[in-house]
Structure 1
Amino acid sequence: MYSLELSLRYSPFPIAIQKKEFEDVKRIYEEIKNSMNEPLETSNLVELRCDKVQDKLIAVRAQEIISVQIYEKSSVAGGAKRPGFSLDID
């Protein structure tokens, strides 16, 4: 299972969906990247559907997306860090 996670402007919590196939999540990732590059005047609405939770539908304006990432959802639970970037300050 692959997860696609969006970070939104002015929102501390990300939005995520899961897809079974990497090709599906990669295609959506590319569509979102292209939408993010559009001029602000022609901002698109991005609709997402989750494979894991069948009734989960998300619609968000592309201009509100500030980052998008893909990661493989492993079945191993534990003390692993969450995917993404982290800042280690000692």
Structure 2
Amino acid sequence: MYSLELSLRYSPFPLSIQKKELEDVKRIYEEIKNSMSENLETSNLIELKCDKVQDKLIAVRSQEIISVQIYEKSSVAGGSKRPGFSLNID
């Protein structure tokens, strides 16, 4: 299972959805990136659907998205990989 997480302007909490296939989440990631780079005067409404929670739908204006990331949810070691960037210092 792959998670796509959005950070929104003026919101302390991210929004996320889960997809079963990496290709699906990469396609959505590219669509969001393209919408974010378009002119701010023409904000697109992006609707996202979650594979894990069937009734979960998210709609957000592209100009409100400040970051997007993909990470893989693993069934090993506690259920998920830590999202974001981290340094592993041994």
What TM-score comes out, normalization by structure 2 length? Answer: 0.89
Cα distance in 1 for residues equivalent to 2:76 and 2:38: 38
Instruction: Report what 1:59 is aligned to.
Output: 59
Q: 1:81: Cα distance to partner? A: 6.8
Cα distance in 1 for residues equivalent to 2:25 and 2:9: 22
In structure 1, give the amino acid aligned to 2:64: E
In structure 2, give the amino acid aligned to 1:10: Y
For residues 27-62 of structure 1, give each alpha carbon's deviation from its aligned partner in whole angstroms, at most 9, with x where no partner exists. 000000000011011110000000000000000000
The size of the alignment, in residue pairs, is 86
In structure 2, give the amino acid aligned to 1:48: L
- Percent identical across equivalent pairs? 90
Q: How large is the Cα RMSD of the aligned pairs?
A: 1.6
Cα distance in 2 for residues equivalent to 1:82 and 1:21: 19
Cα distance in 2 for residues equivalent to 1:71 and 1:13: 17
Q: 1:76: Cα distance to partner? A: 2.5
Residue segments in structure 2 that go unaligned for 5+ positions in a row: none
Distance 1:83 1:57, change over 3 A: same
Cα distance in 2 for residues equivalent to 1:69 and 1:81: 13
